[in-house]
């Protein structure tokens, strides 16, 4: 993912990856795909996947800390609020001053930094989030997006 993409380009890329379903096996496949890729790269990340507001998958790799879980909560909160990825929100806010304040979002609970992506089911909409923290916002976003791409491809091969 290019750091130069606009919020609209990011949105389009993510919406093209609507899933066919999101059951427990899908969540496991998504989480372990991201984890395996991060382990191979030695990336010190935390990963969380929620469905219907309930944590379904959570892991911290070596080097990740409680702070990463706090970042995850804040990234996921802004993603849930706008039903957009936190990276798209960061890009959108970057071009406008005072957006956090305009929407009444405090930085204790919300952060406009990449890493949280809505999980959408085709013809149903957003059902959860996948969130990564530990690297740059672009890298966190890319890990999450790569996981969704892999799950999307798996579902469509199996369909």
pLDDT at residue 150 in the model: 98
Q: What is the pTM of this model?
A: 0.95
- State residue 4's pLDDT score: 80
Q: Is 34 helix (H, G, I), strand (E, B) or coil?
A: helix
Give the integer Cα–Cα distance in Å for 80 and 74: 10
Distance of CA 17 to the CA centre of its chain: 13
Quick one: pLDDT at residue 51?
98
Low-confidence residues of the chain: pLDDT under 70 = 1-2
Which residues on adjacent β-strands are paired with residue 125?
A: 121
* pLDDT value for 6: 87
């Amino acid at each position: 993912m290019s750091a130069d993409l606009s919020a609209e380009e990011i949105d389009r890329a993510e919406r093209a990856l609507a899933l066919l379903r999101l059951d427990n096996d899908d969540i496991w496949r998504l989480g372990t795909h991201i984890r395996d890729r991060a382990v191979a790269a030695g990336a010190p990340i935390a990963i969380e996947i929620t469905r219907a507001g309930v944590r379904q998958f959570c892991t911290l790799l070596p080097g990740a800390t409680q702070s990463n879980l706090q970042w995850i909560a804040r990234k996921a909160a802004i993603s849930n609020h706008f039903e957009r990825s936190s990276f798209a929100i960061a890009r959108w806010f970057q071009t406008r001053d005072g957006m956090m304040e305009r929407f009444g979002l405090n930085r204790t609970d919300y952060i406009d930094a990449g890493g949280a992506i809505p999980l959408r089911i085709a013809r149903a909409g957003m059902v959860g989030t996948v969130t990564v923290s530990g690297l740059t916002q672009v890298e966190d976003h890319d890990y999450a997006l790569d996981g969704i791409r892999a799950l999307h491809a798996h579902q469509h091969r199996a369909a």
